[in-house]
């Protein structure tokens, strides 16, 4: 599609450029300092979980179903927390482990475990030449960092409106035994906000893989993070996988980082019975037991998935006006210009924005010059390399609506100026 600037005649384009440059100079003079870089809840959002901190005191009962949470023991996590983990991940409580505060940390531990020791019965991945990993993109930069850090080659697979391009995924995994795994954020994906369709979930669980030790990191980070009118439903991948005899393929994780306190929540791991036992055998070497008092505090505050959903409804009240602001500002500023497309998520923490080809890095730099920090352009692709340089992740949760509104004006202006410059360069 052509942008409005490509459609202008030379005189119109020159005048539009001059006008946009003048607006940019004006904004620079204002000395703004706004941050839309990372998906963090706002301080007011975090505050709604403060009552949880009052639930444990020096006189509180520190046992959970007979387990003493104030001492060593119960490595897999306290019973109530494992029940909750099972509800989150769609597996029986016995197929879960509740660990520290970070799901990213669990993902790293598990991948490193297979890297060093291998999936039982198979060669450790570190002994193989050229191990590869599929990375739906745009995707989550910290995922890509986990495999990149080990020297695993990240291979991007394009995201569609129903999840990763499954024809491409199936083609790759069927023929290449060095592809050992794949990252998935199946609900309100970071950053597109896409929830994988039932068909995508089924295909992932049942596809033929050349590597018998292929693993899917099923990161359900946004399992309950709805703010749209109708919560989207994600199929249970374990149901499909079990039926196909592939339950070992699925490594599910989630955490309460964006439910209670980021960095101080509880994190869940769920997989097949044999995977859970085998992964635990290594984790146990370095951990006698996780912070069970934190687990206890969490389950007293949020004993069931229904309680979690009620709590999330309160989070949604903070997120709704912010996401509405993004939509209205982008529509108002860029709707009908042919300069951009963006997603309209019903949950999660991000809007994925695409400008003209070759624009994203320049837009990011220009926003920075105008005082607005965005997630670095390219971050949503492995190695920071967005092949078309179009994608920008918008993270609207942290700033106030007022700040967000000002930041989006800056983004819109930057996209317009870069689009006009690109149109002008094309003619030169």
Residues of this chain that interact with ligand PMP (CB under 6 A) are: 39, 102-104, 140, 185, 190, 219, 221, 255, 257, 262, 267
Angle, vertex CA 115, rays to CA 380 and CA 196, nearest 5:
40
Helix or strand or coil: residue 129? coil
Cα 395 to Cα 123, 145, 326: the distances in Å are 40, 19, 10
CB-nearer residue toward ligand PMP: 131 or 253:
253
CB of 417 to ligand PMP, least distance (A): 30
CB of 102 to ligand PMP, least distance (A): 3
CB-nearer residue toward ligand PMP: 254 or 360:
254
CB 102 within 8 A of CB 257: yes
CB of 221 to ligand PMP, least distance (A): 4
3-state class percentages of the chain: helix first, strand second, coil last, to nearest 5:
45, 15, 40
CB of 353 to ligand PMP, least distance (A): 17
CB 319 within 8 A of CB 327: no
| Angstrom distance (rounded) from CA 133 to CA 156 | 9
CB 201 within 8 A of CB 170: no
CB-nearer residue toward ligand PMP: 292 or 416:
292
Q: What is the DSSP letter of 347?
A: B
CB 297 within 8 A of CB 53: yes
CB-nearer residue toward ligand PMP: 5 or 381:
381
CB-nearer residue toward ligand PMP: 90 or 356:
90
Q: Which residue is nearest to ligand PMP (CB)?
A: 255
CB of 55 to ligand PMP, least distance (A): 21
- What distance, in Å, lies between the first and last C-alpha atoms of the chain? 20
CB of 192 to ligand PMP, least distance (A): 11
CB-nearer residue toward ligand PMP: 219 or 389:
219
């Amino acid at each position: 599609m052509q942008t409005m600037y490509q459609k202008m005649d030379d005189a119109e384009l020159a005048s539009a450029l001059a006008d946009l440059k003048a607006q940019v100079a004006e904004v620079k003079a204002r000395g703004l300092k706004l941050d839309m870089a990372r998906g963090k809840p706002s301080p007011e959002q975090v505050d709604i979980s403060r009552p949880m901190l009052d639930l444990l005191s020096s006189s509180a009962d520190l046992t959970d179903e007979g387990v003493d949470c104030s001492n060593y023991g119960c490595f897999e996590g306290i019973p109530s927390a494992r029940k909750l983990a099972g509800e989150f991940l769609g597996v029986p409580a016995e197929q879960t482990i509740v660990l520290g505060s970070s799901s990213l940390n669990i993902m790293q531990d598990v991948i490193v475990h297979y890297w060093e020791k291998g999936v039982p019965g198979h060669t450790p991945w570190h002994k193989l030449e050229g191990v590869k990993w599929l990375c739906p993109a745009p995707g989550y930069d910290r995922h890509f960092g986990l495999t990149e850090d080990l020297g695993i080659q990240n291979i991007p697979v394009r995201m569609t409106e129903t999840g990763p391009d499954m024809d491409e995924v199936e083609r790759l995994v069927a023929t290449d035994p060095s592809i050992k795994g794949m990252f998935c954020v199946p609900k309100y994906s970071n950053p597109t906000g896409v929830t994988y369709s039932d068909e995508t979930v089924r295909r992932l669980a049942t596809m033929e893989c050349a590597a018998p030790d292929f693993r899917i990191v099923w990161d359900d980070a946004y399992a309950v993070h709805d703010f749209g009118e109708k919560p989207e439903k994600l199929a249970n991948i374990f149901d499909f996988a079990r039926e196909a005899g592939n339950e070992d393929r699925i490594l599910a994780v989630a955490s309460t980082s964006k439910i209670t306190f980021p960095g101080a929540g509880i994190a869940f791991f769920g997989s097949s019975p044999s995977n859970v036992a085998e992964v635990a055998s290594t984790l146990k070497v370095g951990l006698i037991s996780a912070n069970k008092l934190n687990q206890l505090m969490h389950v007293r505050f949020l004993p069931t998935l229904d309680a979690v959903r009620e709590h999330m409804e309160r989070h949604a009240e903070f997120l709704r006006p912010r996401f509405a602001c993004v939509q209205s500002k982008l529509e108002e500023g860029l709707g009908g210009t042919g300069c951009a497309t963006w997603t309209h998520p019903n949950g999660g923490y991000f809007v994925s924005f695409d400008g003209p080809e070759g624009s994203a890095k320049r837009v990011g730099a220009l926003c920075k010059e105008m005082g607005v920090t965005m997630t670095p352009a390219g971050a949503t692709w492995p190695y920071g390399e967005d092949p078309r340089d179009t994608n920008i992740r918008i993270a609207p949760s942290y700033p106030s609506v007022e700040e967000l509104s000002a930041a989006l004006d800056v983004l819109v202006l930057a996209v317009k100026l870069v689009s006009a410059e690109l149109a002008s360069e094309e003619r030169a």
